[in-house]
């Protein structure tokens, strides 16, 4: 993967607003943002209801994902362009989620909703009407999804990249200042994980930094690109943003997103936890 | 905006004694700017949070004690930085003119 295959500019999207094979999908942390105005023709996915099992803590299964995309009018051969607010956190999460279920032609709108708004581009409240499809998903590609036991096994062995803010990493905060407090029992981080906040990979307008800047960022932070990598944050949304950078923009071979992230790890009984600004010992 | 304090967001339901609130309004030529983005940067300049402004141009953060920077981005405007001091039990009000 590369920047050319996985990222599109606002200009490109504007030129493809009327392309029937390009499906724009808004996925926002604020699930009401779409209703106040969205890119023309874009459909909405609600990460809290459409993409989560409503009983267990897990994703919807393959059949539910197929039913969802069929009902919303997404076809297997469509080019899906994801975008959202908050610097594309949840759009990147949806991108990773679509990858997990094997969608082939996927793009992220560089800068997301913010860049689009800052450019004063058109937004509409008009709802699109897409004909239903018969979508077929693949089994989950677990080469990009990490579970708790893999996170524990990676301590001192693989790259663990914790992309939360420095205060969350150190254990001074349990969640970002503006978010609902879905919290773990304990504060801190996985021992030996390095802290590279997701925001260091993005410019103020939400677009990604250049490949050269991104390579320098992770090299300076001590990421060993000969090793496998697991990215984590609090609930797996910001780490999807970093997963996108490492896997899709920089082309690292083995990068997994740990969607259980700190809300799971920090509630496990008996696992090691480090607090403070240093990674800590294995 | 039922229960709003004069010129600001309602603090109904917020325990001000326990929070270090940074809030305010973004204005352009005296008029509220509803489609701006306000970022909260910590003392080292690191991103901490970001919110879009409300229909009335308002924003609010629950910060911590110390020095913060508000960076405001809006269409057709240069970014504006404002330093702000926050402390628990106090509401820091900031008007950002772009």
pTM for the model: 0.91
Query: Is B71 within a domain?
Result: yes
- What domain range includes position A74? 3-118
Nearest to B52 among A85, A176, A199 (CB): A85
Give me the interface pTM, i.e. the ipTM: 0.80
Query: Is A105 within a domain?
Result: yes
Please give the structure tokens belonging to residue A20: 């029937």
Cβ atoms B33, B98 nearer than 8 A: yes
How far is Cα B52 from Cα B59, in angstroms, rounded to an integer?
7
Q: Does B77 touch chain A (CB under 8 A)?
A: no
Query: Is A123 within a domain?
Result: no
**Does the annotation mark A249 as catalytic?**
no
Query: Is A112 within a domain?
Result: yes
Number of folded domains that form chain A: 2
Query: Is B59 within a domain?
Result: yes
Query: Is A93 within a domain?
Result: yes
Per-residue pLDDT tens digits for A147-203: 999 999 999 999 999 999 888 999 987 777 665 456 788 999 999 999 999 999 999
Residue A218 dihedral angles phi and psi, to the nearest 5°: -75, -30
How far is Cα B98 from Cα A107, in angstroms, rounded to an integer?
33
- What domain range includes position B53? 17-97
Predicted local confidence at residue B1, as pLDDT: 33
Per-residue pLDDT tens digits for B7-21: 567 787 777 888 889
DSSP A229: E
Query: Is B11 within a domain?
Result: no
Say if the Cβ atoms of B48 and A176 lie within 8 Å: yes
Per-residue pLDDT tens digits for A18-77: 999 999 999 998 888 899 899 999 999 999 999 999 999 999 999 999 999 999 999 999
When pLDDT is averaged across residues A262-277 and rounded to a whole number, the result is 97
Min distance A59 CA to chain B CA atoms (Å): 26
How far is Cα B51 from Cα A178, in angstroms, rounded to an integer?
8
Positive/negative CA dihedral, A166, B36, A209, A258:
positive
Predicted local confidence at residue A225, as pLDDT: 87
Per-residue pLDDT tens digits for B44-84: 898 888 999 999 999 998 888 899 999 999 999 999 999 99
Query: Is B3 within a domain?
Result: no
Are A100 and A185 part of one and the same domain? no
């Amino acid at each position: 993967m590369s920047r050319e295959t996985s990222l599109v500019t606002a200009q490109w999207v504007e030129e493809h607003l009327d392309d029937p094979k390009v499906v724009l999908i808004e996925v926002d942390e604020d699930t009401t943002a779409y209703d106040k105005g969205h890119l023309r023709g874009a459909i909405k996915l609600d990460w809290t209801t459409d993409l989560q099992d409503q009983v267990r803590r897990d994703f919807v299964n393959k059949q539910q994902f197929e039913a969802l995309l069929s009902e919303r009018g997404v076809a297997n051969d469509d080019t899906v362009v994801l975008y959202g607010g908050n610097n594309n956190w949840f759009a990147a999460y949806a991108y990773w989620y679509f990858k997990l279920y094997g969608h082939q032609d996927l793009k992220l709108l560089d800068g997301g909703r913010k860049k689009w708004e800052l450019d004063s581009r058109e937004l509409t409240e008009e709802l699109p009407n897409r004909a239903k499809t018969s979508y077929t998903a693949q089994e989950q590609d677990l080469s990009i999804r990490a579970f708790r036991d893999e996170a524990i096994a990676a301590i001192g062995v693989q790259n663990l990249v914790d992309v939360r803010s420095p205060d969350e990493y150190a254990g001074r905060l349990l969640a970002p200042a503006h978010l609902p407090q879905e919290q773990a029992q304990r504060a801190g981080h996985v021992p030996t994980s390095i802290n590279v906040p997701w925001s260091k990979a993005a410019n103020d307008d939400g677009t990604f930094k250049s490949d050269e800047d991104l390579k320098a960022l992770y090299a300076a932070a001590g990421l060993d690109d000969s090793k496998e990598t697991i990215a984590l944050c609090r609930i797996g949304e910001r780490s999807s943003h970093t997963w996108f950078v490492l896997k899709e923009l920089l082309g690292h071979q083995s990068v997994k997103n740990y969607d259980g992230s700190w809300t799971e790890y920090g509630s496990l009984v008996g696992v090691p936890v480090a607090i403070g600004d240093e990674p800590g010992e294995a | 905006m039922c229960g709003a304090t004069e010129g600001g967001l309602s603090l109904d339901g917020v325990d001000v004694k326990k929070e270090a609130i940074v809030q305010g309004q973004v204005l352009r030529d005296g008029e509220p700017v509803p489609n701006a983005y306000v970022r909260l940067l910590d003392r080292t300049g690191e991103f901490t949070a970001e919110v879009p402004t409300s229909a009335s141009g308002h924003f609010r953060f629950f910060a911590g004690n110390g020095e913060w920077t508000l960076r405001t981005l809006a269409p057709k405007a240069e970014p504006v930085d404002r330093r702000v001091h926050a402390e628990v039990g106090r509401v820091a009000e900031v008007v950002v003119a772009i």
